[in-house]
Each structure stands twice: as C-alpha cells, then as structure tokens.
Amino acid sequence: MIRRLSQARERGIPEATVARLPLYLRALNGMAERGLATVSSEDLAVAAGVNSAKLRKDLSHLGSYGTRGVGYDVEYLIYQISRELGLTQDWAVAIVGVGNLGRALANYGGFVSRGFRVAALLDADPEVVGDHIAGLSVEHIDELEAVIRRRGVSIVVLATPAAAAQQVADRVIAAGVTSILNFAPVVLAVPEGVDIRKVDLSIELQILAFHEQRKTDRMTGGPAMAEEWPEAVDL
C-alpha cells in the first residue's frame, strides 16, 4: 500500500500543479482558522477558484491523502502541501535593490509569515546603504557574496533597475544561488539549473490592455470586416 503511494509520487509533480499548491495552501489556512476539520474537494476547489477534478488530480500527485465519502483532513493536508513545497524549513531571502519596490517588499509582512525570512537588503547607492528598513540595515552590494554565504541565503529577489539586473544575477549565481525572483523588466540569461521567476507589471498591464481593446472593439462594431487594415502604414 505504501508501495502504491510511492509510485503515485514517482519523482516529479507537474509544473502546473506546483503553481497551484500555494493556492490550495492559502485556502486551507483560511479554513483551519475558521475551525474546519475536513473539507471536500468540491469546497476546496471553489475556495481556490479551480475545477474540483483538477484539484483532486493535483493532490493525487502528492499521495492519497483523502478519505472517500469524507474529504480531506484540513490540518494534515496543510502539513503535506507545506512539506512538498519545502515550507517546513525556512528560507533566507536577500533583496537586492532597495528603491521604491525593494522597500515595499522589505516592509511587506505577508511572506515572512510562511517560511520565508528577509535575511539581507543590499544596494549599490551609498546614500541608501546603512538605512534601517524593517529591522535590517542595508548593506553594500560589494558585500554580496559574503552576505549570501554568512546568512545562508538561497533565494534572491532582484529589484534593481533593468540595466543592473543581469550583472547582479551573474554575481548572485556565481555565489551559488540558484533561485531568483526577478522584478526587473529584462530577460535574464542564466545557466542550466538556475530557476528564474519573473514578475513584470508592464507585461500584465499590456495583456489587460489587449483584452480591454478587444472588448471595446466588440462594443463599437470593431475594425471593419473587410479592409482589415490600411494597405500601407507609414511610421
């Protein structure tokens, strides 16, 4: 029986599933706070905003933790998902680039709570170095490698200007970090084995604008059916 479970979990959870686990975890935490002991896939799916079959399939990748006819034990599922995501240990995060965004991130309490700890703030600007933010003193970028080593930093958040991001990423990777969350609007080139995730406000807005345009086009009849666009367009 343990055999069957091991098989189910066979090295490798689909990427799409991994991306949803934090969502389930958040919904479950809400339920735990409200004192629910068990939850059905249907209810949890609604809370997480997904289809219940998808939810069950996702959870089945971790093992067989539900009880047919009953549902899932909330606390136990929280534990299993947390463990799968690696949230049972805590992760030291460094923020590089302490400007508008870097400060907001440093002051943000929301992620300190769940396994992540801001362990260092780094910046190149002598004006900024030494500032105290969220209980930390901003250190100089020259200290990067030393800080990463000393504090056991394993995840770096990049909040520098775009022009500096690649160069900082190179140093961070050379120092042994393999997980980077990048806010700078550049495509970072990184060696195999380094995970980059990017958050790009400007892209999100452009995607929204695209759909918004479609919606209003539809309203106003849109571009004519014939004569889709001008024969030639000068710039």
Partner DNA sequence: CCCACTTTGTGCACCGGTTCACAAAGGGAC
Partner DNA sequence: GTCCCTTTGTGAACCGGTGCACAAAGTGGG
- Partner touching 211 among its own copies, ligand NAD, DNA, none, CB below 5 to 8 Å by kind: its own copies
69 binds DNA (CB under 7 A): yes
Of the residues 6, 67, 206, 213, which one makes contact with DNA according to CB under 7 A: 67
- Residue by residue, DSSP assigns 101-157 as HHHHHHH--TTTTTTEEEEEEEES-TTTTT-EETTEEEEEGGGHHHHHHHHTEEEEE
Site for ligand NAD in 169-228 (CB under 6 A): 183-185, 201
CB 98 within 8 A of CB 121: yes
Of the residues 98, 103, 147, 160, which one makes contact with its own copies according to CB under 8 A: 103
3-state class (DSSP) for residue 195? strand
- Of 197, 152, 159, residue with least CA distance to 176: 152
Q: How far apart are CA 157 and CA 119, in angstroms?
A: 11
Contacts of 185 (CB under 8 A, 6+ apart): 162, 200, 202, 203
By rule CB under 6 A, what string of x and - marks binding of each residue 113-152 to ligand NAD? ---------xxxx--x------------x-----------
214 binds DNA (CB under 7 A): no
Binding part of the chain for its own copies, among 35-43, 53-61, 137-145, 203-211 by CB under 8 A, reads 203-211
- Closest CB to ligand NAD among 40 and 179? 179
- Partner touching 70 among ligand NAD, DNA, its own copies, none, CB below 5 to 8 Å by kind: DNA
Query: Which 8-state DSSP code applies to residue 176?
Result: T
- Closest CB to its own copies among 191 and 229? 229
What tokens appear for 13 in the block? 């959870």
- Partner touching 123 among ligand NAD, DNA, its own copies, none, CB below 5 to 8 Å by kind: ligand NAD
